[in-house]
């Protein structure tokens, strides 16, 4: 009976029958897209390098474009496929990921544009390769949050969440970078930490008991392999993500090398920790697909700072340990004790490694001698005292600023995530039906094998085996009596 009910279209649910709820998505998207376009029409213009100018300066394109494309692949393939690990939520993962990314790109360009100097001077904000890139960064924030909420929101709720989170994240980033002059080259503080804790706070207010231990919340063999497509593309291109904004060229190469080494050490550590902490001494695909990436987050803020290969390796090792321990022990605690359910474990991949990156950034500014950076010191720490900036702040002030930046991100993300969660729970918004958490069926036209492939597949084992041993009527009955040691842990 319950089975049958779960197949019905969700508009049969009386709560869902009102016309406004049925057309909610349509109305909101039409209105928002229209507003965005009006704002683009009024205030956006292409930057000089994009407009006909007679110059043939290829440097910006040839130096940044390949790294921009790597980042672009991370946002759409990387995040999208990493979230396909749920057995019944693959369509949503990869599609809603695409929708929210595009939505954030447009909205983020507007918000960032309005905060730009160009806008304050000329009343126009500019769009060029750099803006496409920072728009992808803004999308990353939202997609990390999506990871915490995965399977628990309707499309309209995801969209409202994005609408609220994007301007807050960009506003906070603006002040972290421009007011406190924080160095966060790979965005571990302003992207990863913000996205993760916004999502966790949102999940807190939003959680309910039915979401936890839901039968849909798990993977099947093929969905775990899909997730690896996303994971490996994130892994491979993470050096580009951390390095693309770094200046000058030496800092960019350093960011690439540091991220590369940190990821390698983190990956080896993840395999080590995953097996060592497992009761059966087996690897867990959740760790392989997620914790291996923590090394990219943990080195993110300081990818342009670290000057010794060993330090990059050490950071990777710590990140891998922290992330596996997080998945193994902290995530269950968050769910059971604090009622915070974290579908993708973003706390372990983005949250804690992001905080680690923030803390390390404060420590390293004290540990390394500013003179080591020579003339490029102010390209890393714009406000620090140097030959060319005699009025700059001291190393300890910079360290303090790094910590203030981290604290600001933590406080703002938790607060705004909490309030957003409360808003998303409002009855006027479409809500996920309880039986249909982590499932595509209510939002996507699904092919005829959907229920079979994603839900029932393991149960058939019983019949199959009996058939194999010359199925008879009596045997069919017998099959059901097979003791429970047949089922797998």
Residues 9-28 that bind a copy of itself (CB under 8 A): 9, 11, 22-23, 25-26
91 to 130: interface string for a copy of itself, x by CB under 8 A? x--xx--xx--xx-xx--------------------xxx-
CB of 237 closer than 8 Å to CB of 70: yes
- Pairwise CA distance, residues 447 & 212, whole Å: 27
C-alpha distance from residue 371 to each of 25, 256, 270, 299, 306 (Å): 55, 22, 35, 21, 14
Angle between helices 194-206 and 395-424 (to 10 degrees): 30
Range in contact with a copy of itself (rule: CB under 8 A) among 83-91, 179-187, 189-197, 381-389: 83-91
**Which alpha helices (H) appear in 8-128, and where do they start and end?**
19-22, 24-43, 59-73, 79-82, 90-115, 117-122
Exactly one of 141, 149, 288, 357 binds a copy of itself (CB under 8 A); which one? 288
Residues 256-275 that bind a copy of itself (CB under 8 A): 256-257, 260-261, 263-265, 267-269, 271-272, 275
Peptide bond just before 248 cis, omega within 30 deg:
yes
CB of 380 closer than 8 Å to CB of 251: yes
303 to 322: interface string for a copy of itself, x by CB under 8 A? ----xxxx--xx--x-----
Residue 403 Cβ, how far from a copy of itself at the closest point, in Å? Answer: 24
Residue 25 Cβ, how far from a copy of itself at the closest point, in Å? Answer: 6
Distance of CA 202 to the CA centre of its chain: 14
Residues 313-372 that bind a copy of itself (CB under 8 A): 313-314, 317, 372
Exactly one of 180, 373, 437, 438 binds a copy of itself (CB under 8 A); which one? 373
The answer to the question of residue 61 lying near a copy of itself (CB under 8 A) is yes
Please give the backbone phi and psi of residue 198, each rounded to the nearest 5 degrees, phi first.
-60, -45
Exactly one of 20, 280, 391, 484 binds a copy of itself (CB under 8 A); which one? 280
Nearer to a copy of itself, 23 or 210 (CB): 23
Exactly one of 20, 53, 121, 484 binds a copy of itself (CB under 8 A); which one? 53
The Cβ of residue 354 has, within 10 Å, a number of other Cβ atoms equal to 34
Nearer to a copy of itself, 8 or 426 (CB): 8
- Pairwise CA distance, residues 146 & 472, whole Å: 49
Range in contact with a copy of itself (rule: CB under 8 A) among 57-65, 144-152, 192-200, 389-397: 57-65
CB of 346 closer than 8 Å to CB of 331: no
Nearer to a copy of itself, 278 or 404 (CB): 278
Residues 176-235 that bind a copy of itself (CB under 8 A): 218-226, 228-229, 232-233, 235
Distance of CA 153 to the CA centre of its chain: 16
Range in contact with a copy of itself (rule: CB under 8 A) among 61-69, 173-181, 343-351, 399-407: 61-69
Nearer to a copy of itself, 410 or 439 (CB): 439
The token duo for 135 is: 């728009």
State whether residue 377 is helix, strand or coil: helix
- Pairwise CA distance, residues 302 & 189, whole Å: 10
Exactly one of 13, 73, 395, 415 binds a copy of itself (CB under 8 A); which one? 73
Please give the backbone phi and psi of residue 126, each rounded to the nearest 5 degrees, phi first.
-105, 155
Range in contact with a copy of itself (rule: CB under 8 A) among 143-151, 160-168, 197-205, 244-252: 244-252
CB half-sphere exposure, 228, CA atoms < 13 A: 10
- Residue indicated by tokens 């996205």: 195
Residue 59 Cβ, how far from a copy of itself at the closest point, in Å? Answer: 7
Residue 75 Cβ, how far from a copy of itself at the closest point, in Å? Answer: 8
| Size of residue set near a copy of itself by CB under 8 A | 158
Nearer to a copy of itself, 194 or 237 (CB): 237
389 to 418: interface string for a copy of itself, x by CB under 8 A? ------------------------------
Which of 460, 458, 461, 455 has its CA nearest to residue 435? 455
Exactly one of 67, 150, 294, 362 binds a copy of itself (CB under 8 A); which one? 67
Nearer to a copy of itself, 337 or 447 (CB): 447
- The vertex-361 CA angle with 177 and 312, nearest 5°, equals 125
Residue 307 Cβ, how far from a copy of itself at the closest point, in Å? Answer: 7
Nearer to a copy of itself, 46 or 394 (CB): 46
Nearer to a copy of itself, 295 or 421 (CB): 295
- Pairwise CA distance, residues 298 & 295, whole Å: 5
Please give the backbone phi and psi of residue 384, each rounded to the nearest 5 degrees, phi first.
-80, 150
DSSP 8-state class, residue 387: T
């Amino acid at each position: 009976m319950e089975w049958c009910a779960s197949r019905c279209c969700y508009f049969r649910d009386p709560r869902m029958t009102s016309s406004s709820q049925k057309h909610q998505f349509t109305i909101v998207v039409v209105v928002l897209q229209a507003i965005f376009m009006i704002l683009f029409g009024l205030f956006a213009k292409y930057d000089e390098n994009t407009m006909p100018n007679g110059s043939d300066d290829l440097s910006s394109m040839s130096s940044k474009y390949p790294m921009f494309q790597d980042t672009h692949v991370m946002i759409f393939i990387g995040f999208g496929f990493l979230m396909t690990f749920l057995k019944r939520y693959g369509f949503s993962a990869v599609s809603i990921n695409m929708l929210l990314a595009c939505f954030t790109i447009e909205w983020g360009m507007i918000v960032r544009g309005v905060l730009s100097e160009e806008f304050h001077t000329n009343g126009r904000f500019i769009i060029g390769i750099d803006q496409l890139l920072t728009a992808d960064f803004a999308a990353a924030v939202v997609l990390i949050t999506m990871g915490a909420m995965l399977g628990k929101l309707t499309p309209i709720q995801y969209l409202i969440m994005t609408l609220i989170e994007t301007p807050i994240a960009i506003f906070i980033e603006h002040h972290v970078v421009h007011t406190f002059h924080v160095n966060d080259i790979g965005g571990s503080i302003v992207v990863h930490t913000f996205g993760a804790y916004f999502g966790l706070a949102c999940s807190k207010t939003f959680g309910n008991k039915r979401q936890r231990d839901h039968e849909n919340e798990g993977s099947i063999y093929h969905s775990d392999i899909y997730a690896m497509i996303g994971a490996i593309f994130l892994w491979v291109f993470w050096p580009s993500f951390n390095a693309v904004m770094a200046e000058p060229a030496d800092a960019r190469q350093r960011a690439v090398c540091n991220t590369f080494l940190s990821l390698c050490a983190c990956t080896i550590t993840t395999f080590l920790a995953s097996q060592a902490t497992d009761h059966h001494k087996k690897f867990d695909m959740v760790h392989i697909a997620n914790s291996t990436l923590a090394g990219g987050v943990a080195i993110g803020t300081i990818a342009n700072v670290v000057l010794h290969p060993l330090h990059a390796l050490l950071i990777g090792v710590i990140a891998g340990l922290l992330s596996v321990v997080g998945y193994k022990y902290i995530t269950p605690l968050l769910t059971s004790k604090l009622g915070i359910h974290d579908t993708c474990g973003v706390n372990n991949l983005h949250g804690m490694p992001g905080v680690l990156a923030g803390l390390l950034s404060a420590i390293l500014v004290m540990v390394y001698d500013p003179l080591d950076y020579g003339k490029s010191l102010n390209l890393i720490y714009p406000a620090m005292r140097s030959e060319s900036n005699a009025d700059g702040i001291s190393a300890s002030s910079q360290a303090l600023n790094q910590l203030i930046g981290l604290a600001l991100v933590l406080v703002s993300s938790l607060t705004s995530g909490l309030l957003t969660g409360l808003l998303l729970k409002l009855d006027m918004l479409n809500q996920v039906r309880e039986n249909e958490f982590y499932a595509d069926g209510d939002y996507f036209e699904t092919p005829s094998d959907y229920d079979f492939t994603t839900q029932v597949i393991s149960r058939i084992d019983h019949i199959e085996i009996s058939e194999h041993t010359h199925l008879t009527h009596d045997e069919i009955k017998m099959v059901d009596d097979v003791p429970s040691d047949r089922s797998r842990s």
